[in-house]
C-alpha cells in the first residue's frame, strides 16, 4: 500500500510541475533516456542549433583535458582557482546565513555558530550567492568554459549554481532519518540526469583530505548504461567498478570538472567540514534549477551574456 501511495504522490508531483512550468517537460523527457550513445546523439543535434564558440589556436593542454573528460568523465585542476579569490569568497560566506534544506521555514544560521547534530548539509540561497565576491568570476573561468564548449560543441549555459557545507559533527541516528543512504550506505553512488549534456565544475573552498568529505567519482561510468538508471549501491551489487573510484583531495582552490552522468557521491566527512562551490553547465534545454528570472543586470560585469543569461539579465 505504501508503494502505491508513493507512486501516486510522485505522479501528482510530476504532473503538477509539468502543468505549472513548461521547463519541466524537457527535464522529464531527457531524464528517461538512459542509453549514453542515444543521449550523445541527441546532444549533438541540439548543439548544432546553439551559438558556436569562436575557433582559436589549438591548445594541447586543453585538448588533453577534453579527451580526459570524454574518456573518464572527470578532470582535476590542482591549481584551479586563485587562492585569494577562494579565501575572500569563503570568508564572506561565513558571514552569511545558510539553510538546512531539511528544516523548511527555518530562517537560517551562520555556519560557524553550529549546524546542529541532525544537519547533513546546508546551502546558501542563490540570492546570497549572486552577491558573493568572485563567484561569477569563478563560474566564468575562461579555461573551464573553453573545455566545456569543446566537449558540448556549442556555447554552454550556466543552468545551476550551488554552494554548500557538509557537516562532520553529526549524529548518525538523527541524520539517517532523511539521509540513511548517505551516512550508512557509503558505497551508494548516483548519477545526475539534468539535461542532455551537462558538465559540473566544483571548487573546494576549504582544504579537503580523506577525512573532510572528498568528492568521489567512478571514471568511465558516464559512458555506461545501467539498468538501475540512477543509483548503484555496491554493497548490494558488488563489482569491480567500486575499486576504480577516485576520491579527490586537495587544498582549497582545487577544482573538478566532471560529467555528472558518471557515478559519484560526496563521502562522509569525519574530522572537519567541507565547503564547496558547484557551477553546472548545460545545453540549456532543461533549466528547472535556475531562477525563472535573472537576479542581476549584466552592465559592467564583463561576462558572456548568453552563458550567464539565466542568472544575469541585460540592462533594460
> What region does 192 belong to: left with phi over 0, alpha with psi -120 to 50, or beta?
beta
pLDDT of 1 over the 70 cut: no
Q: Which three cell numbers stand for residue 218?
A: 567512478
Given 3-state DSSP classes, what are the helix, strand and coil percentages for the chain, each rounded to the nearest 5?
A: 35, 20, 45
The DSSP code for 193 is: -
Confidence of residue 239 (pLDDT cuts 50, 70, 90): confident
User: pTM for the complete prediction?
Assistant: 0.93
6 pLDDT exceeds 70? no
Point out the least confidently predicted range of 4-13, 255-264, 283-292. Answer: 4-13
pLDDT band of 56, cuts 50, 70, 90: low
Average per-residue pLDDT in the chain? 91
In the predicted model, what is the mean pLDDT of residues 202-212?
A: 97
Q: What is the arithmetic mean of pLDDT over 38-47?
A: 97
User: Which of 42-51, 237-246, 277-286 has the lowest average pLDDT?
Assistant: 237-246
In CATH terms, 33-51+59-313 corresponds, of 2.60.120.620, 1.10.472.10, 3.40.640.10, 3.40.50.80, to 2.60.120.620
The average pLDDT across 53-71 equals 89
Residue 13's Cβ-count burial label (10 Å; 0-12, 13-18, 19+) is exposed
Whether residue 190 is predicted with pLDDT greater than 90 in this model: the reply is yes
Q: For the chain, what are the domain ranges?
A: 33-51+59-313
Give mean pLDDT, residues 97-103: 92
Asked if pLDDT for residue 257 goes beyond 90, the answer is yes
In the predicted model, what is the mean pLDDT of residues 76-93? 95
Q: How many Cα neighbours within 13 Å face the side chain of 195?
A: 27
Q: Which pLDDT score is estimated for 97?
A: 97
What share of the chain in percent tops pLDDT 70? 95
Question: What pLDDT score was predicted for residue 171?
Answer: 83
pLDDT of the residue at 23:
86
- CA 259 to CA 197: how far, in whole Å? 8
Q: Is the pLDDT of residue 63 over 70?
A: yes
Q: d(Cα 1, Cα 33) in Å, to the nearest integer?
A: 29
Decide if pLDDT at 235 tops 90: no
Amino acid at each position: 500500500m505504501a508503494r502505491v501511495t508513493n507512486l501516486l504522490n510522485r505522479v501528482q508531483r510530476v504532473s503538477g510541475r509539468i502543468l505549472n512550468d513548461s521547463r519541466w517537460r524537457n527535464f522529464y523527457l531527457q531524464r528517461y533516456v538512459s542509453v549514453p550513445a542515444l543521449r550523445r546523439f541527441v546532444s549533438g543535434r541540439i548543439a548544432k542549433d546553439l551559438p558556436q564558440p569562436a575557433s582559436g589556436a589549438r591548445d594541447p593542454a586543453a585538448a588533453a583535458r577534453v579527451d580526459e573528460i570524454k574518456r573518464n568523465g572527470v578532470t582535476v585542476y590542482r591549481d584551479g582557482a586563485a587562492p585569494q579569490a577562494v579565501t575572500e569568497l569563503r570568508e564572506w560566506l561565513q558571514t552569511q546565513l545558510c539553510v538546512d534544506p531539511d528544516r523548511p521555514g527555518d530562517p537560517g544560521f551562520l555556519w560557524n555558530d553550529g549546524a546542529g547534530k541532525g544537519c547533513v548539509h546546508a546551502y546558501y540561497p542563490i540570492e546570497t550567492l549572486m552577491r558573493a565576491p568572485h563567484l561569477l568570476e569563478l563560474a566564468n573561468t575562461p579555461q573551464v568554459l573553453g573545455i566545456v564548449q569543446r566537449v558540448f560543441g556549442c556555447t554552454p549555459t550556466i543552468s545551476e549554481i550551488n554552494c554548500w557545507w557538509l557537516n562532520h559533527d553529526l549524529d548518525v541516528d538523527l541524520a539517517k532519518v532523511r539521509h540513511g543512504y548517505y551516512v550508512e550506505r557509503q558505497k551508494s553512488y548516483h548519477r545526475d540526469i539534468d539535461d542532455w549534456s551537462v558538465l559540473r565544475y566544483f571548487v573546494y573552498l576549504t582544504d579537503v583530505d580523506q577525512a573532510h568529505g572528498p568528492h568521489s567519482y567512478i571514471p568511465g561510468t558516464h559512458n555506461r548504461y545501467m539498468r538501475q538508471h540512477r543509483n548503484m549501491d555496491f554493497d548490494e551489487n558488488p563489482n569491480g567498478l567500486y575499486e576504480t573510484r577516485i576520491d579527490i583531495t586537495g587544498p582549497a582552490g582545487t577544482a573538478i570538472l566532471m560529467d555528472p552522468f558518471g557515478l559519484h557521491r560526496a563521502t562522509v566527512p569525519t574530522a572537519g567540514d567541507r565547503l564547496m562551490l558547484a557551477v553546472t553547465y548545460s545545453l540549456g534545454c532543461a533549466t528547472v534549477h535556475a531562477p525563472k528570472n535573472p537576479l542581476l543586470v549584466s552592465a559592467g560585469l564583463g561576462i558572456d551574456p548568453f552563458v550567464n543569461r539565466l542568472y544575469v539579465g541585460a540592462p533594460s
